[in-house]
Amino acid sequence: MKTTNSGSRERGSTLMVVMAILVTLMVIVGVAAEYSTTIHRSVQRSNTLESAISIADGSMDLLFANWRSICRATPQAPLATSSFSSIALPTSAMFPGVSGFGASVTDYYSNNTPNPPTISNYKVVAADAEWKPLASSTATPVPSVGRSQTSQTKTTSATYNYIASVDVTLPALRGSVVAKVRRTFQKQQLSPWNFAIFYVDPLEIHPGPAFTVTGWVHTNSDLYTAHSSLTFADKVTYGSDWFINFKPGDLQHQSDVIASPNYQSSLPPARDIALQPFGLDSTSIFNTTDTNPNNDSYRELVEPPSGAAATDPLAGERYWDQASVIIRINADNSVSIGYPDPANNYAFTAVGSSDWRYTMFNPAVSTNQTIQDNREGAQIKLSTLDINTILTTAATPTYKSNNFNTNPIVYIYDASATSTAHRGIRIKNGSRIPGNGITVASNNPVYIQGDFNTGGTGSSVPSNNPANFNPDGTYKDPANPPNPEATGYNRAPCSILADAVNILSSSWVDSNSGTVPAAAPTTVNTAIVSGIVPTAQPGGDGSYSGGAENFPRFLENWANKTFTYYGSMIELYKSAQSIGEWGKANVYSPPAREWFFDTNFKMNPPPGTLMVYSYIKGKWSML
């Protein structure tokens, strides 16, 4: 019996061990199953969240494209939240892999609304300078930096803030997964006069002698720099790429040693977004193959409009449209003076001899002078605008009560110009400028003769005084350049816009044109908008554009003479009338270039509205 009892106890003990093992195994299996389920659920939710974020990103890109398109329709106007209510919602066709897709502008989560669709809270909201959403849907954002436009003739920089939102809800194993994505949108309005050099086309800078660029430099295209004599003293940006080399097709520099330019180690040239003049996309508004004469290129800025304003994408932006005075030189050398009539598609409206425009400008215009331009290889018939005569009239009480006092923009052109009839506009006796400044625009080439906006001429302007020069024409103390103004004079905000801008020194005489006469030191203080003749395409004639160092063109022997320039140089288009290539013999010898960005433009730009705009997707976040 003892044996039997002992055997029973042993069998019972073994059974208990087996049962304990089974229980342990069952617990382990249960734990493993629960763990596997948890892991599966976590992985599924993570994958679903990634899908939700991807859907939100795609929706945000669509939202940005629509927001930008609406802003571009009226780029100068800051828009309220209500302006974007027409943005179409995403559709199921855009996300074919999402079942039960739906979309709404309603903010389901802030309002605790049940059953949110796949996409909700899909909207753009205007924000203040501190990125707080504006409570009113009709309130427009206040610029966060700079100043907004204050009048037709004065524009400054501004940034307008918006907050875009997309909430994406996707089903998961338990409940749903939500991705609440937010992104800042910014519309930046910037005066191109903030740049020392601004190009929409490829920018080439290949100076021979040492050349320092003060101020910002930007091109919407490629940047080419291949000389160590070039120094950038400030920010440099490009929209496409930067090459320490010469532009393909340029055969003028084949023997040059390629070297990197100089720049601050903390501020190398960097890629940036394209800055669109007028806030308009050139690829969508310009077309050279259609029948519309008003939408060929940014050169429309300096051209008279043609046809109905409804067909003109730059209506109101052209300097013809902005001018208070239009001076037209006719084929018979007679002069017509008038203004653009906005009620009649900015058509030219002539004025009588008693009108202030006529009495102020008719005495200042002379016609039918001729010079030889060796770069063009042609005789140029000039009409001359005498600034001193305008200044004399400007001192009269009549001037002080007319529109030119608040809108000093003059459009002057010779309407008889053709491909074979070369015409130009000369500006002379401009050492002193009316107090509010002046802007002169033309679709012809412009020739600035003598010291401009300096308050004096010759050695009375320190930057022209030989005592301040080295024998080679450079300044003795480049770190402290002499004043570009005569004593007691403060330069006025000025700009010259033309097919091309040429500089004639203060010693220029018409009868010596074509002989490359000796130049005299000359100072010019003005912004310039001008066209270029681009570098040849590969396989072409090998011509070089002349680069930014030859943006203002020359016709004299400037050897050991200084050309001092304070201003801002803007390239928006290709020249259509002055199309002679750079690099011909017997045209000019280069000056010692002492060029400086006019920092006054940051707060007091030249008369006229000319802005560039950029649309930026800023900070991304998920709530």
Per-residue H/E/C for 348-392: EEECCCCCHHHHHHHHHEEEEEEEEECCCCEEEEEEEEEHHHHHH
- Going by pLDDT thresholds of 50, 70 and 90, the confidence category of residue 284 is confident
- With cut-offs at 50, 70 and 90, classify the pLDDT of residue 128: very high
340 vs 284 pLDDT, higher one: 340
CB 501 within 8 A of CB 552: yes
Max CA-CA distance within the chain? 146
Residue range 6-25: mean pLDDT, rounded: 70
Helix segments in 194-295, DSSP class H = 282-285
On the question of pLDDT at 153 being above 50, the answer is no
Question: In what order do the strands lie in the sheet containing 158-171?
Answer: 119-126, 158-171, 176-190, 612-622, 276-277
Q: What is the pLDDT of residue 455?
A: 97
* Mean pLDDT of the 134-140 span: 95
Least confident residue range of 397-406, 509-518, 609-618? 397-406
Q: Is the dihedral of CA 296, 299, 300, 304 positive or negative?
A: negative
11 — pLDDT class (breaks 50, 70, 90):
low
172 and 48 in contact (C-beta within 8 Å)?
Answer: yes
pLDDT of res. 149: 43
CA distance 72 to 490: 37
Q: Report DSSP state, residue 200.
A: S
Q: How far apart are CA 548 and CA 570, in angstroms?
A: 10
Does 510 score more than 50 pLDDT?
A: yes
**What digits encode the pLDDT tens for the residues 460-505?**
999 999 999 999 999 999 889 999 999 999 999 999 999 999 999 9
State how far the Cα of 402 lies from the Cα of 325, in Å rounded to an integer.
11
The residue among 187, 136, 184 whose CA lies nearest residue 163 is 184
Residues contacting residue 556 through CB under 8 Å, at least 6 positions apart = 504, 505, 507, 508, 516, 517, 518, 519, 588, 589
Q: Is the per-residue pLDDT at 564 higher than 90?
A: yes
pLDDT of residue 44: 73
Q: Would you state the pLDDT for residue 37?
A: 55
- Tokens standing for 554? 């020359």
pLDDT surpassing 80 at residue 254: yes
Looking at per-residue pLDDT, the higher value among 39 and 130 belongs to 130
Predicted pLDDT at 375: 97
pLDDT value of position 72:
84
* Percent of all residues in the chain with a pLDDT value above 70, rounded to a whole number: 91
Sheet with 562-567, side-by-side order of all strands: 522-525, 562-567, 592-597
Which pair of tokens denotes residue 390? 């305008």
Residue 291 has pLDDT above 90, yes or no: no
Alpha-carbon Rg for the chain in angstroms: 34
pLDDT at residue number 401: 55
Q: What are phi and psi of 4, to 5 degrees?
A: -65, -45
What pLDDT, on a 0 to 100 scale, did the predictor assign at position 1? 45
Residue 52, helix vs strand vs coil: helix
Q: Per-residue pLDDT averaged across 374-385, rounded?
A: 98
**SS3 category, 176:** strand
User: How would you list the strands of the sheet with 365-373, edge to edge?
Assistant: 365-373, 378-386, 423-428, 446-449, 501-504, 553-554
pLDDT of res. 5: 62
| Distance in angstroms between the alpha carbons of the first and the last residue of the chain | 77
Q: Given a cut of 90, is residue 22 above it in pLDDT?
A: no
pLDDT band at 87 (very low <50, low <70, confident <90, very high): very high
What contacts 458, CB < 8 A, 6 or more positions away? 451, 464, 506, 520
Inform me whether the pLDDT recorded for 262 exceeds 90.
yes
Segment 160-178 mean pLDDT: 92
Distance CA 620, CA 623 (A): 10
Q: What is the pLDDT of residue 318?
A: 93
User: What pLDDT shows up at residue 7?
Assistant: 63
Instruction: Of 580, 584, 469, give the one whose Cα is nearest residue 523.
Output: 469
pLDDT at 292: 87
| Residue that the structure tokens 């200044």 belong to | 391
Identify which has the larger pLDDT, 22 or 126.
Answer: 126
The pLDDT of residue 39:
58
Residue 151 above 70 pLDDT?
no
Please provide residue 496's backbone torsions phi and psi, each rounded to the nearest 5 degrees.
-125, 125
Q: Is beta strand 612-622 parallel, antiparallel or unpaired with respect to 176-190?
A: antiparallel
pLDDT band at 148 (very low <50, low <70, confident <90, very high): very low
Q: What is the mean pLDDT of residues 550-567?
A: 97
Q: Residue 179 has what pLDDT?
A: 95
The predicted pLDDT at position 577 comes to: 98
Q: What is the pLDDT of residue 9?
A: 65
Q: Which of 18-32, 41-55, 440-454 has the highest mean pLDDT?
A: 440-454
Q: Binning pLDDT at 50, 70 and 90, where does residue 45 land?
A: confident
Question: Hey, is 76 helix, strand or coil?
Answer: coil
Give the number of residues written for the chain: 623
Mean pLDDT of 359-371: 96
DSSP letter at 561?
-
Whole-model pTM: value is: 0.86
**pLDDT tens profile 90-124:** 999 999 989 999 999 999 999 899 999 999 999 99
pLDDT at 152 over 60: no
Summarised one tens digit per residue, pLDDT across range 184-236 is 999 988 889 999 999 999 999 999 889 999 999 999 999 999 999 999 999 99
Please write down the long-range contacts of 344-353, taking CB distance under 8 Å and 24 or more positions apart: 345/305, 345/307, 345/308, 345/309, 345/312, 345/315, 346/305, 346/309, 346/315, 346/316, 346/318, 346/320, 346/321, 348/304
